[in-house]
Amino acid sequence: MPLALVATSHSPLLAHADLDPEVSAELEATFEQARRFAADFDPDVVVSFGPDHYNGFFYNLMPAFCVGYGAESIGDYGSQAGRLDVPEDLAKGLAEAVIGDGVDLAVSLDMQVDHGAVQPMEILFGDIRAKPVVPVFVNSVAPPFTPLARVRRLGEAVGRYLAGQDRKVLLIASGGLSHDPPVPRLDTATAQQRTMLLGQGGPITPEARQARQQRVIDTAKEFAAGTATIQDLAPEWDRELMAILASGDLSPLDAWTPEEMTRIAGNSSHEVRTWIAAYAALAAAGPYEVRHSYYRPIRELIAGFGLTTVESRAHH
C-alpha cells in the first residue's frame, strides 16, 4: 500500500509567541498545504515518529527507540490530552518486524507522549484521535545518541513492513531542525534537575510544569530580542539536511556525528532523527518526491522551522 509523509518542526511556543503577522500568515499557509495533502491522501492509519522532552521517557531507562502499543498524551503547553487511538495489532506487528529485521527497540503498552508527538496530529487533523496512530519514539534529547545510520535502518525496517500492509499509511516526522531550548542537560544538571531527568520524585506538579514552560517562553522572548545565551539557529545546516532528505539518498547523513550535530545546530537538533527515520521509511517503499517544502529560521519559536510533504512517485 502507498505511503506518504509529512515532516515538520513542532514548537510548544506556537500558541505563546508574538510572531510578526507576515510570519504567522506564512506558517498558516504552509500548515494549510499540509492539511490538504493529508486530506487528499486520506490515510487509514498514521505512523508518527516523535521525540519526548522528559515527560514520558527518563534516564532511569532511556531507550533509543520505542513503539507504543497504547499511548496517552499528557497535554503540555496546551496540547490536547488523552488516550490516542493506537491499533495494537499494527503496532505489535511493526515492532516484531523491525526487531526481526535486526533493529532492536523497546515497546510500551502505556506510552506517555507530549506536544512533540501530538502537535502535528492537531495541526493536520484537529484532533489527536482523528486517525488511528502508532507512535514511534526516537530519543532526541538524552545523550548518548545512537548513530544516524542506525536511525536510517530503523526507518527502512518500518517502511518495509508498512509497504506490505493492506492499509494506506501517512508517516509523520515531528521535530527539529536546529534549535537549543533551555532543557536541562544531565552533565550540568542541578540535584533537583537530575531527579527530574531520572523520572524520580513522582509526577510533576502543575505548578512545576507551569514554571518549566514559562522558562522556555521567557527564553524565546529573550532569544528574539537578542539577549538570550542559548545557541543560535543554523539555517545553512537546516537547508543542507533538507536537501539531502529531498534527494532520496540519505546515506551522506551516516557520517554526521552526534557531537557535530550538537556543536553546529544545538542540543535539540537531534530531533531531526525523526525526519531521517520517516524519510528512510518512505524510501523503503520506493522513490519519492517532495511536493511542498517550507523553511524559515524563527527566533520567536527557538526553531529553524521546516515542513515538507512527500509522496511516493508510484502513488502520484
Catalytically active residues, by annotation: 115, 179
The x, y and z cell numbers of residue 120, run together, are 502535528
Residue with cell 498524551: 73
Q: In 3D, which of 294, 234, 293 has the Cα closest to residue 268?
A: 234
CB 121 within 8 A of CB 130: yes
Question: Is there a contact between 268 and 180 (Cβ–Cβ < 8 Å)?
Answer: yes
AA letter at 251: S
Ramachandran angles phi, psi of 290, nearest 5°: -75, 125
Output phi, psi for 314, to 5 deg.
Answer: -65, -35
Name which of 40, 64, 35, 38 is nearest 52 in CA terms. 64
Alpha carbon distance, N-terminus to C-terminus of the chain: 13
d(CA 295, CA 308): 9
